[in-house]
């Protein structure tokens, strides 16, 4: 009996291509990329805070905002990677569109993997921007460098990612649930939302503990 080789790559399988590049492609892509709009206020805050002051650097109060911004970016990216690696790949509780395209065949699994990749690319952008801002800030003597401030930003950023994931992907667009194929789907989604808010609160409280003359 001969076995036919079935190629599951996006570029060589027409069923997978049809499942991805259909009438919903642009809409799904835009919805996933919405998270990138968070970069705009973060970058505006960062570059405004680094505006050259009239006085000398030694007379300028230490700035927290640049540290907060790049730590938030890194936290958002870290949260996205942890979600993708742990929940999408290791535990496989869900995939990007698993509530709409059930990954119960090779083709539907591959379609979800494609959108997982787009999702991971978005989180990579946040991580990359965070690293660039961190590198750009490394030689500025007027920054308020603090382990507590940086760690709080990471935790808050992680919580912000989870909150956006919860609001958009779990509730608004209904792309996926925290856990598919369980009786307590709503409870898992609600628990994830509460955890997100708790992380933002914890990170915010940690950053608030860091006091300096200029504020944020």
Give the tens place of pLDDT for each residue, 131-144: 999 998 887 877 88
DSSP 90-122: IS-S--TTTTTS---SHHHHHHHHHHHHHHHHH
Q: What is the pTM of this model?
A: 0.89
The pLDDT > 90 percentage for the chain reads 74
Q: What is the mean pLDDT of the chain?
A: 89
Place of tokens 């200029």: 214
> CB-side exposure of 32: number of CA atoms within 13 Å?
24
d(CA 129, CA 81): 15
**Contact (Cβ atoms closer than 8 angstroms) between residue 95 and residue 178:** no
d(CA 202, CA 75): 13
Give the pLDDT confidence score for residue 61 in this predicted structure. 52
Whole-angstrom CA distances from 140 to 67, 115, 133, 150 are 11, 39, 12, 16
d(CA 114, CA 63): 41
Judge whether residue 1 has pLDDT over 70. Answer: no
Q: Is 143 helix (H, G, I), strand (E, B) or coil?
A: strand
Give the pLDDT confidence score for residue 6 in this predicted structure. 60
Per-range mean pLDDT, top range of 5-9, 47-51, 106-110: 106-110
- Radius of gyration (C-alpha) of the chain in whole angstroms: 21
Judge whether residue 167 has pLDDT over 80. Answer: yes
| pLDDT band for position 62 (cuts 50, 70, 90) | low
């Amino acid at each position: 009996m001969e076995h036919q080789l079935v190629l599951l790559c996006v570029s060589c399988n027409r069923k997978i291509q049809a499942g991805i590049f259909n009438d919903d492609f642009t809409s799904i892509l835009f919805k996933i990329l919405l998270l990138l709009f968070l970069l705009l206020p973060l970058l505006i805050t960062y570059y405004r805070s680094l505006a050259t002051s009239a006085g000398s650097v030694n007379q300028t109060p230490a700035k927290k905002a640049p540290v907060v911004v790049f730590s938030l970016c890194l936290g958002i990216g870290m949260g996205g990677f942890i979600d993708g690696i742990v929940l999408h790949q290791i535990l496989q509780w869900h995939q990007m569109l698993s509530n709409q395209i059930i990954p119960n065949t090779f083709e539907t699994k591959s379609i979800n993997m494609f959108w997982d990749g787009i999702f991971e690319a978005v989180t990579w952008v946040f991580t990359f921007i965070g690293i660039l801002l961190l590198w750009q800030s490394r030689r500025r003597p007027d920054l308020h460098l603090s382990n507590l401030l940086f760690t709080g930003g990471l935790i808050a950023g992680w919580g912000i990612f989870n909150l956006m994931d919860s609001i958009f992907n779990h509730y608004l667009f209904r792309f996926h649930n925290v856990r598919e194929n369980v009786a307590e789907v709503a409870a898992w989604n609600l628990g994830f939302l509460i955890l997100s808010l708790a992380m933002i609160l914890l990170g915010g409280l940690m950053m608030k503990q860091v006091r300096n003359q200029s504020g944020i």
